[in-house]
Amino acid sequence: MNFSPLQLDIAQESLTQKIFLSGYSDCGKTTAGKAYLSKLLDNKVPGNKILLLVAQRSLGTTYTDFLDSIEAYNGTLPAVQTISGLSQKIIKLFWPIIAHEFGFRDISQPPVFLNIESSQYFMAKVCQPFFDKDYFSTIKSEKPRILSQILDNLNKAAVIGFSHKDISEKLKNAWNKDVKHLVAYDEAQDCAVAFREYCLNNNLLDFSLQMEIFFKSMQQSFLIRQYLFDSFDYCLYDNCEEDTPLAHDLMIDWLPKFSGALIIYDQHAGYRSFLGADPKSALRLIESCSKSVEFNKPYNSSNEMQTLIPLYQKAIHRQTLPEFPKKTFSKLAFHHHKFYPDMIEGVVSQISTLIENGTEPGNIAILSPFVSNSMQFQIQQRLAEKQIKLISHRPSRSLQEESITHGLITWVKIAYPEWGLPVSLYQFRTAINHALGNMDPIRADLISRIVLSKHDPLILRSIEDIKPELLERISIQASFQYKQIFDWLLQYQNEKSEMDVFLARFFGEVISQPGFGFHNNFEAAEITGKLIESMQNFRKNTANHFQNTEDNWALDYIKMLENGLISALYLQNWELPPLDSVYLAPAHTFLMQNRIVKHQFWLDIGNMGWWQRLMQPLTQPYVLSRNWQDGTKWTDIHEYENNQMNMEKMISGLMRRCSGKIFLHTAGFNENGDEQAGPLLKATQRLLRRYHQQYGLLNV
């Protein structure tokens, strides 16, 4: 890579000093971090002596790609680490000491680290007796969301540094509305305490218990503390503003032990605050550094875009807008549509024009506060008509929401008839539609009605028993492919294996072969890979539980999946999308990728989702924070100010990640047919009115 003199100077100084590097996005801070890694490796520092720390695994992909490009180095290359990853290594290594200290029932057995999926599974088991007692009847929320919020509360307590037994008290002290809601906080507390006891009794470590044990061990055990502190000589800590207060506490104690360190802080960020990120806490690291440096010159953003950022900030906060150059608005294009489908058509048409004029599809991002199934489908279908590929990423989207997942699970049910899980006509039609090549819904429905037994929905008929005239309607190709699947499943009955093994074989040996529906279908392959990985992780994390019970892990997994099990974070989703594909994602997801695109499309800017946070009845990210004073009531004023601040932060972050033009689209009626005029639309209208007043026209 080509590094600037300033970046090289920072890298050189960080070899012998602790440098705190701050600045806005696109000012070259991460590139300075890469220069620092290069300097360390050039000075023959072994990679295993370099702590390359990020707040979230996805934020480390840029460093992973950079290190993969290095050819000459001494020994090993540094590995991207997170506090969670470090804690797992420490707990595994010192388990006999830790298990005894923290009250685990069986210290002779190794710990089992739970991911999101397995945590929700065990939380559901623990909470079921409480649901049977009519817990949470005072709130309107689905069971998976209730479970995830209880886990979220536990996680907040662990990374902020207070007892998990005090969660409800903190939430109740801040509650300022209907007193009936306070009961739900106490009920969530009961579930959290019961889950923690269950984990201790079964050697299970969810994220909250893992973090709590790690941070307490670092405080209480000189041996563990010394071992970790002596493991690394140099430190590169990027995006520290996205990390948690206890992580910052640890780094404040750790920094003096390093020979050199570079701490990178992104100003006006902290997009993971709903997960415990604390930018204010991260600023404390300056005191442990010998020097503070600020980068303030953007590499890709134009002067016009830099001028627009403070203008938008003033418009959001209803402040007086100053005069500005006319060309400033050349970076904005505002489009109003009466109906939602018209907006989608307008966006697709503009994208097509940009690509025809030479813009790489990968340099175009379509952003919205939320990306619904219908939005993705409409955009994807219309872009496909113009031979334009689309890649979408929705981290909160569960595997259960994918129709391909439903099809694959249907084949699993058919392969294991002894489980007695029924297969409906709709489910089998979905499975056939995806599995057979060149299949349409009408023929998929026809073949489903023919081969699926009406008396036993788990028994398939052979294609050879079907009348010739029906075979012609289905097509010879579809008939032949169905026969191959039928024969393969018949053979499989004699060589049963675990569910994840079945799915891997079925995908590799049958449906991904030439002519079948999954052949060269990379989206389907990705979803299949996620599903198999999810199954494998679930089987590994629940192995001890199912060895001690008569339950079937596969059966429980399918039931949890069909009930809305949230999938874990799959790192491949965070890799930079290919240049031949337009990128569709929620705005916050795009911000967490730390990437620049030439053109951005902001959809439905009248939507309140650009401003209003997702309401969660059992948790509150700003109350469960070190920045909140216990006993203070959370009022509508607090809600308004935080929403204003978060929207300003999000809009500024998006604009700093755009090197070309932003296309703002709004619809008179949103996706649900409702009229909306949210704060982002109003802020945009203030800018447009000021522009019109200043220049007497509105050609933007």
Distance (Å, whole) CA 308 – CA 690: 13
When pLDDT is cut at 50, 70 and 90, the band that residue 362 belongs to is very high
- List, in order, residues 6 or more apart from 588 with CB less than 8 Å away: 271, 650
pLDDT given at position 699: 47
- What lies within 8 Å, CB to CB, of 468 at 6+ separation is none
Taking the CA atoms of residue 24, residue 27, residue 32 and residue 33 in that order, the dihedral angle to the nearest 10 degrees is: 40
Asked whether the beta carbons of 102 and 199 are under 8 A apart, the reply is: no
How many contiguous H segments (helices) and E segments (strands) does the chain have? Answer: 28, 14
Place 700 in a pLDDT band, splitting at 50, 70 and 90.
very low
Both tokens assigned to 498? 């675990």
Burial class (CB in 10 A: 0-12, 13-18, 19+), 677: middle
- Stretch (H or E) spanning 53: strand 50-54
Beta bridge partners of 22: 265, 294
pLDDT in tens, 69-86: 887 666 788 999 999 999
Of the listed ranges 10-19, 85-94, 191-200, 686-695, the one predicted with least confidence: 686-695
Question: Six-digit token pair at 35?
Answer: 């220069």
| Averaged pLDDT for residues 139-150 | 91
> Terminal CA-to-CA distance of the chain, rounded, Å?
38
**Contacts with 326 (C-beta within 8 Å, 6 or more apart), sequence order:** 694, 695
Rounded to the nearest 10°, the torsion over CA 95, 98, 100, 104 is -80
- At residue 396, φ and ψ (nearest 5 deg) are -80, -5
Q: Percentage of residues in the chain with pLDDT exceeding 90? A: 64
Residue corresponding to tokens 């720390």: 53
Which among 238, 247, 265, 290 has a CA at the least distance from the CA of 21? 265
| Spatial contact of 662 and 602, defined as CB atoms under 8 Å apart | yes
Paired with 661 in beta bridges are 599
What value does the mean pLDDT take over residues 40-53? 93
DSSP state of 660: E
- Tell me the C-alpha to C-alpha distance, in Å, between residue 157 and each of 89, 535, 682: 22, 29, 37
What 3-state class would DSSP assign to 510?
helix
Would the pLDDT of 394 be above 80?
no
Q: Which of 197, 190, 196 is nearest to 133 (CA)?
A: 190
Q: Which residue has the tokens 């020979």?
A: 259
Strand partners, 293: 21
Q: E strand or H helix at 189, and its extent?
A: helix 182-201
Alpha-carbon gap, residue 173 to 171, rounded angstroms: 6
Burial 345-372 (b: 16+ CB within 10 A, else e): ebbbebbbebbeeebebbbbbbbbbbbe
Rg for the chain, CA atoms, rounded? 27
222, two tokens: 């000189």
Structure tokens at 221: 């055990």
Q: What is the pLDDT of residues 636-664, one digit of tens each?
A: 999 999 999 999 999 999 999 999 999 99
pTM of the full predicted structure? 0.89
Tell me which residue of 379, 303, 297, 299 sits closest to 346, measured CA to CA. Answer: 379
Length of the chain: 700
Q: Which pLDDT does position 458 carry in this prediction?
A: 63
Q: For residues 58 and 89, is the Cβ–Cβ distance under 8 A?
A: no
Q: Please count the other Cβ atoms lying within 10 Å of the Cβ belonging to residue 166.
A: 14
Pairing of strands 597-602, 364-368: parallel
Q: Find residue 452's DSSP bridge partners.
A: 460
Virtual torsion, Cα 546, 548, 550, 554, nearest 10 deg? 0
Coil, strand or helix: which one is 19? strand
Kindly write down the DSSP assignment for every residue of 382-450, as one continuous string: HHHHTT-EEEE--TT--GGG-HHHHHHHHHHHHH-GGG-----HHHHHHHHHHHSTT--HHHHHHHHHH
The answer for residues whose C-beta is within 8 angstroms of residue 641's C-beta and 6 or more apart is none
Backbone torsions φ then ψ of 584, nearest 5 degrees: -120, 125
Strand pairing class (50-54; 80-81): parallel
Query: What average pLDDT does the segment 554-583 reach?
Result: 73
Indicate if the pLDDT at residue 55 is higher than 80.
yes
As a whole number, mean pLDDT of residues 130-139 equals 94
The 10s digit of each residue's pLDDT in 282-305 is 999 999 999 999 999 999 888 899
Name the one residue in this structure whose structure tokens are 């079925």: 506
More confident residue, 567 or 58: 58
Please report the DSSP string for 438-492 in residue order: T--HHHHHHHHHHHB-SS-TT-BPPGGGS-HHHHHHH-HHHHHHHHHHHHHHHHH
Which residues lie across from 581 on neighbouring strands?
Answer: 389
Residue 567 has pLDDT above 70, yes or no: no
Query: Average of pLDDT values for 474-487?
Result: 88
Tell me the HSE value of 645 on the side-chain side, using a 13 A CA sphere: 12
Asked whether residue 557 carries a pLDDT value surpassing 80, the answer given is: yes
Roughly what angle, to the nearest 10 degrees, separates helices 245-254 and 207-220? Answer: 30
Strand order in the sheet with 658-667: 332-337, 658-667, 597-602, 364-368, 581-586, 389-392
C-alpha span between 87 and 93 (Å, rounded)? 10
